[in-house]
Amino acid sequence: MAESMTDPAATRGAQRTATRSRGRAVWLFIRDIVVIFIVALLVSFLIKTFLIRSFYIPSASMEDTLMGGPGAPDNDRIIVNELEPKLLPVHRGDIVVFTDPGGWLTASENVPAAEPSNPVARGLSDFFTFIGLGTNDSDNHLVKRVIGLPGDHVVCCNALNQITVNGVPLKEPYTTVQPGEQAASKTFDVTVPPGKLWVLGDNRADSADSSQHQNLPSKGFVPESDVVGRAFVISWPISRWSWLSNYPDVFRGVAKNGS
């Protein structure tokens, strides 16, 4: 029986073809991974820009709703819905994050989250901030609760030490105010101008809020254009995970826009 012979040139050609196929497969795999990564980054960036964003704002002004402040063992991280007020209206009772209207922040009230000392951890922290899940860019932001909308007549306080909005007294279960105490650290009698908000901290005795900044050019009002969004959930620490309410029942009897 004649022994079959293999053509060496054909063998080498087949090997080269197989090598090229494997190389092409590897290149296509790498290309797909890079495309997926870039698309994921773009989607995350768009989510941060238009939908949600994470914040760390170390301030005792919102305790006990939000736990924080310099030296606090478990400062809350919050997730903010950026559609409000871009596409959705702000409501009374909303907890909003906003940029400093001018002169609200002092060095002691604007303590950023500690930067990781490890370069890898710091890089990951910066990456998560870029896609909206980190908090490195929280500086120059404040968090307070909306009490008055444009057109509202907001007063502190009535004979029962309650804040009134358009003449309706508020019973505020979210504050740290004790029975008999005034519902704000300073008195006020204001009508909220168009495009502005009147905001107070839940910890009224320790809150640099609208009532405390009536002497500034802003007169304590916050431009709606300065609002980044509405805080709707505590995301960290896990033990504090919870939804944040705007307590609609508190404001249910308040007429719209001072009418």
Instruction: Tell me whether the omega of the peptide bond preceding residue 179 falls within 30 degrees of 0, making it cis.
Output: no
- Our CA dihedral for 6, 9, 10, 16, rounded to 10 degrees, sits at 130
How far apart (Å, rounded) are the C-alpha atoms in residues 160 and 163?
9
Residue 19: what residue type? T
- 86 tagged catalytic: no
> Which of 48, 125, 138, 144 is an active site residue?
144
DSSP string covering 179-229 = TTS-SSSS-EEEEPPTTEEEEE-SSGGG--SGGGGTTSTTTT-EEGGGEEE
How far apart (Å, rounded) are the C-alpha atoms in residues 211 and 219?
9
> Which of 61, 125, 210, 218 is an active site residue?
61
- 210 tagged catalytic: no
Tokens of 126: 């910066």
Q: Which residues pair with 200 in a beta bridge?
A: 145
- Secondary structure in 3-state letters for 85-135: HHCCCCCCCCEEEEECCCCCCCHHHCCCCCCCCCHHHHHHHHHHHHCCCCC
Tell me if residue 113 falls in helix, strand or coil: coil
How far apart (Å, rounded) are the C-alpha atoms in residues 233 and 211?
26
Residues that are catalytic: 61, 144
